[in-house]
Structure 1
Amino acid sequence: MTLTLIIIVITSAITWYAWNVNPQAQAWGMLRPYYVFRQDRWYQLLSAGFLHANLTHLLFNMITLFFFGPVVERTLGAGYFIGLYLAGLVLSNIPSLFRHRDNPKFASLGASGAVGAVLFVFIYFFPMAPIYLFFIPIGIPAAVFGAVFIGYSFWAHKKANDQINHEAHIAGAVTGLLYVMIIVPRGIDHLLTLLGII
């Protein structure tokens, strides 16, 4: 069993448990920056990534991870892959943590930051690979998809009229790219090769 599948099973099981067995786990596990700082709930930087608001939220994240995770896992190796995923979970929450530290009403949950980190590592290594969306019958080059995704996330974050934590998506993407260029051995070599430097 791949690490990707293990993560999907664990995340789905914890989410289901919070929905159906112990709803209080959702309340205590989601990221609430106000309480992180005042009650030392630092675990929420990690626990929030194993909880989801609804079935659509869970399926979107886990299906994306299912398609891109195994490729990235094989590319990086199991150890670096789990490091990437955990870094994505924690670091993607940092902007929200500080921006909403004085807002007791703000809460965030979901694995989107970590999934975004995995997705953008895929884009980093396979920029011309086609990515297919449900409503578009032709493949979009991964690099183009990534650029559109980041552009949309910035725009949606500025509008801030939905319940989606778009800054976590951006932070997850940045985390993935920095992780592979700084932490993964020879990860930066791929970028230098693409740029024709080596």
Structure 2
Amino acid sequence: MFALTPVVRTILIINVLVFFVTNESIIQQFGLHSFLSDMFSPIQLLTHMFLHGGFGHIFSNMIGLIVFGPMLERFWGPKRFTFFYFFTGLGAALLFSGINYFEIRDVYEAVQDYRLAPTPDGFMSFIDMYAQSLYDQVASFAERFEQQPDNQQFIDGSLQIVNRLYAGQVNEPMVGASGAIFGVIMGFGLLFPNTQLFLLFPPIPVKAKYLVIFYGAYELYTGIYRAQADNVAHFAHIGGMLFAFILVKYWGSQRKNFY
């Protein structure tokens, strides 16, 4: 059905094999953690690209790879395509990690402030700012804390909740090849902009350049306005597309040396 090229086939096989042996321990060890996490390791910038959180996750990524990757590999050759794939994947991880660092740093500072002055109002302000999706779960506790603001049991309980929320964010790993796959999609759209692609949903033809524009605009919007419970690394997708754009344009400016 798909005429796979050597590098695309190898990446596909590695991802599938890793998926079948992946468990929570492997994800925690090799998924990409925040720079602020004690669980962070530089090797995770690479290893997270071969881990996926579920069948739908790996299926969508590998479909993108086998649909758009082979033509790029034929155009550039195996070595340059391999470099492109990992360059965009690492670039995506760095952009995601940089933005994540500033987001988590704000949470960390809020946690530090709350530890110094744990009050009912401060507790609800923290929840409203950083964990709105958990409001219903802590509403009853917050109401009792409001009624007994000097009760050490409620003070300690609020600190446990705040610390647990922070730990959950700072130690939540990011996994998936999505950054590199979005880089591949961007590369395809830049090099073959007028290629007609037939979408499944909705079943209509669309030129590659318009698909890339749609993906980029959607990821930028959701990256900025995403909900806390979204659980999708939109800025990794944007990073993959951004670094793909930079590399393709650079190679284009060095045409006499690369093509």
For the superposition of Structure 1 and Structure 2, which TM-score range results when normalised by the shorter chain? 0.7 to 0.9
What is the CA distance between 1:136 and its match in structure 2?
2.1
**Corresponding position: 1:108 with 2:135:** no
Unaligned runs of 5+ in 1: 191-198
**Corresponding position: 1:26 with 2:27:** yes
**Corresponding position: 1:163 with 2:164:** no
Aligned partners of 1:130, 1:163: CA distance in 2, in Å? 32
Instruction: Answer 1 or 2: which has greater helix percent.
Output: 2
Provide the TM-score with structure 2 as the length reference: 0.66
C-alpha contact (below 8 Å) 2:15/2:51 kept by paired residues: yes
Structure 1 residue runs of 4 or more that deviate by more than 2 Å after TM superposition: 99-103
Q: Helix, strand or coil: the match of 1:33?
A: coil
Residue of structure 2 equivalent to 1:62? 62
Query: How many equivalent pairs are there?
Result: 186
Provide the TM-score with structure 1 as the length reference: 0.86
Report which of the two structures shows the higher radius of gyration computed on alpha carbons: 2
What is the CA distance between 1:40 and its match in structure 2?
5.7
Deviates more, 1:39-48 or 1:73-82: 39-48
- The residue type equivalent to 2:185 in the other structure is L
What is the CA distance between 1:39 and its match in structure 2?
5.8
Give the one of 16, 21, 31 matched to 2:20.
16
Unaligned runs of 5+ in 2: 106-168
Residue of structure 2 equivalent to 1:195? none
Residue of structure 2 equivalent to 1:78? 78
C-alpha contact (below 8 Å) 2:73/2:81 kept by paired residues: yes
**Corresponding position: 1:180 with 2:181:** no
- Identical counterparts, % of pairs: 24
Residue of structure 1 equivalent to 2:127? none
- The one-character-per-residue Cα deviations of 1:62-107 (angstroms, maximum 9, x if unpaired) are 0110111100000111111000111122110112212223451442
RMSD, aligned α-carbons: 2.3
Aligned partners of 2:170, 2:208: CA distance in 1, in Å? 38
What is the CA distance between 1:115 and its match in structure 2?
0.7
Larger RCO of the pair (alpha carbons < 8 Å, separation 6+): 2
**Corresponding position: 1:137 with 2:203:** yes
